[in-house]
Amino acid sequence: MSNAASIASESAPAPPIVAARSVRPKSWGLTLHVHTLAYWFWFFYASKPFITYLFFQENPAYGTLAFGVIGAGFAYVTFLAGMHLPTRSAYLKEARAVRWFVLYMAWMFVTLLWTRAESTFVAFAYWALLALECFCIFMFLRKGDARRVAIASIRGFVAGSVVMAVVTLVAAGTTGDARLGDDELLNPNSIGNQFAYAALCCLFLTFDVKGDKGKLKWGLAFLVLMATLLQSLSKTSILGAGVAIFYYVIRRRSSVPVKLVLALLFMGGVYLSYGLVSDYVTAYIQDRGGATMLTLSGRTLLWIDTWEMIRDNPWFGYGFFSFRNHGPQVFTRIVPHAHNEWLHNLFSYGVIGTVLCLLLYVGFWKLMRHLRAMGVKEAMLGMMLLIYFLIRGLTEANVVGTLFPMPLLLLLLGWGGIELHARKRRGVLTSPPSSLRAGGDTVPVREIVS
C-alpha cells in the first residue's frame, strides 16, 4: 500500500511554481504599497530646493542636515520593508551598466582618501546621502513591481517639481537680470534644469503610459514646467530640452496628429515667452561689448584654469567634493563645480573616474537602444533624458556624481534591466522596426542584445 502511494506521489504533477510577482506584499498589520513609498520619496526629492528657500533661508546648512535626516528615515523604512516583503524584481543585473554605476559610486568613495575638500567629514556626508538615496531606489525596485514603482516615482518627481514651479513663481520673484528665481537658493540655472527634465518626464506620462486617466493634468503640468523653464532663461537647459523634445517628436512611433499636438505645445510655449527670452538674449549679446557671450559668461576662463590643474594630477584627481574649496575661483562668488561635466569628473575623480562615467553613459545608451528595438516605450524617456543631460553637461556639472541625477539613473537602469529580462524570457522581439526585421515579423532577442 505504501509502495502504491509512493508511486502515485511520484507520478502526480508537481505543484505550479508561483512567480514572485504574484505574491502580494504584507506588512505589520497594514498594506504597504512600495510604489506609494516611492512616490513620496521622489516628491520630497523634487521639493528640496523650495523647502530650503521657504524654511532655511538664514542657514541653508540646516536644510542639508534636515534632508539627510529625512533621507535616512526613508532608507530606514525601506530597509524594514525589505525585511518583511518578498523580492519581486531580482533582475536589475540584466542591465550591465549597473556594474559601472556601482564602480563609479565606489570610486567616488575611494577618492575621499585624498580629497582636498575643506572638511572630509562633510564630503563623506554628501556621499553617504547620495548612497542612501540610491539604496532606497534599489530596494523599491527589488521589493515592488518595477513598472509601478518607476511610474509612481516619475509622477512623484513631476508633482514635486510643479509645486516648486508654483512656489518659485509666487514667492521667489526675479533676479537682477530679470530671470525667474533667486540668486542664492533658487538659482535660475538649477531650477531651470529641474523644470526641463521634469517636463520631459511629463511627455512620457502624457503620451506613453497606458491606462493613465490623468493625461490631461500631466499635459497641463508640461505647460507649467515649460513656461517656468523659459522664464528661468537657463540657456543650456532650454537648448537641451528643445533638442530632446525634437528627438521625441521625430522618433516616437505615433500618428501625425499626436506629433502635431506635441509640436504645437512646444511652439506655443516658445511663442508665449518670446518677448522675455528675446530681450534677455539681446542684453546677453551686448553685455560688456560681447565679451560675456564669447566667454560663455566666463566659463571658458574657468575651463582653462581647471585644465591646468587637471594636468598636474590627471589620473586620480583631487578627490570627491574638492572643487568648491580647491578648484579655480574666477568669479566673485564660490564656484562649486567646473561648469562642464567632463572637466569636473577629470578634476575630482581623475581619468579613472571619468572613464567609469563614460562607460556608465554608454551602457545606459545601449540598454535604452535595445529596449527601443523591442518596442518598449519607456526607452524613449531614457533617450530624451540622456540627450538632455549630455547637452547640459557641456556648460554645467553636478557637485556630487554625474549630472544625470544618480538616483534617477539607477531607477531607469533597474527598470530597464527588469524589463529586458522579461522580454528575453519570452524569446522573441515583437513588432520590431523595419531595419531589424530578418525576413519575418519576429526577431530572436539574442540577436539584438548579445
SS (H, E, C) 192-222: HHHHHHHHHHHHHHHHCCCCCCCHHHHHHHH
Based on the fold, state whether residues 216 and 75 are members of the same structural domain: yes
Based on the fold, state whether residues 100 and 216 are members of the same structural domain: no
Q: 288, 323, 358: which is the final residue of a domain?
A: 288
What amino acid occupies position 209?
V
**CA quadruple 50, 53, 55, 58: dihedral, nearest 10:** 160
Structure-block grid coordinates of residue 93: 543585473
Residue 433 resides in a domain: no
User: In angstroms, how far is the first alpha carbon of the chain from the final one?
Assistant: 54
Confidence (pLDDT) at 288: 58
Based on the fold, state whether residues 66 and 208 are members of the same structural domain: yes
Residue 171 resides in a domain: yes
Residue 439 resides in a domain: no
Q: Which residues 6+ apart lie within 8 Å of 84 measured at CB?
A: 25, 26, 27, 28, 32
**Which is nearest to 419 in space by CA: 92, 142, 25?**
92
**Which is nearest to 397 in space by CA: 440, 338, 354, 442?**
338
CA 291 to chain centre: 34
Q: Which residues 6+ apart lie within 8 Å of 73 measured at CB?
A: none
Domain that holds residue 307: 89-124+295-424
Domain count, the chain: 2
Residue 417 resides in a domain: yes
Residue 318 resides in a domain: yes
What amino acid occupies position 172?
A
What amino acid occupies position 169?
L
Based on the fold, state whether residues 205 and 57 are members of the same structural domain: yes
Per DSSP, the three-state class of 174 is strand
Per DSSP, the three-state class of 444 is strand
Question: What is the Cα–Cα distance from 68 to 61, expressed in whole angstroms?
Answer: 11
Query: Are 386 and 449 in contact, with CB atoms under 8 Å apart?
Result: no
Structure-block grid coordinates of residue 10: 511520484
Residue 264 resides in a domain: yes
Q: Which residues 6+ apart lie within 8 Å of 370 measured at CB?
A: 420, 448, 449
Confidence (pLDDT) at 319: 95
Based on the fold, state whether residues 41 and 113 are members of the same structural domain: no
Residue 338 resides in a domain: yes
What amino acid occupies position 288?
R
Backbone angles phi, psi at 449, to 5 degrees: -105, -5
Based on the fold, state whether residues 198 and 312 are members of the same structural domain: no
Based on the fold, state whether residues 116 and 205 are members of the same structural domain: no
Based on the fold, state whether residues 257 and 340 are members of the same structural domain: no
Based on the fold, state whether residues 396 and 253 are members of the same structural domain: no
pLDDT tens per residue across all 450 residues of the chain: 444 444 444 444 444 433 333 334 444 434 458 888 899 999 999 998 888 888 887 777 777 778 878 878 878 777 776 666 666 665 666 678 899 999 999 999 999 999 999 999 999 999 999 999 999 999 888 888 888 999 999 999 999 999 999 988 887 666 666 677 777 778 888 999 999 999 999 989 988 887 667 788 898 899 889 888 988 888 899 999 999 998 988 887 766 777 777 777 767 666 666 666 666 666 666 565 555 666 667 788 899 999 999 999 999 999 999 999 898 987 777 888 999 999 999 999 999 999 999 999 999 999 999 998 888 888 999 999 999 999 999 999 999 999 999 999 999 999 998 888 777 776 644 444 433 333 333 333 333 332
Confidence (pLDDT) at 182: 76
Residue 25 resides in a domain: no
**Dihedral sign (CA 237, 239, 244, 249):** positive
Give me the residues paired with residue 174 across strands: 180
Based on the fold, state whether residues 255 and 313 are members of the same structural domain: no
SS (H, E, C) 230-271: HHHCCHHHHHHHHHHHHHHHHHCCCCHHHHHHHHHHHHHHHH
Q: 242, 264, 288: which is the final residue of a domain?
A: 288
Per DSSP, the three-state class of 181 is coil
Based on the fold, state whether residues 36 and 157 are members of the same structural domain: yes
Based on the fold, state whether residues 347 and 390 are members of the same structural domain: yes
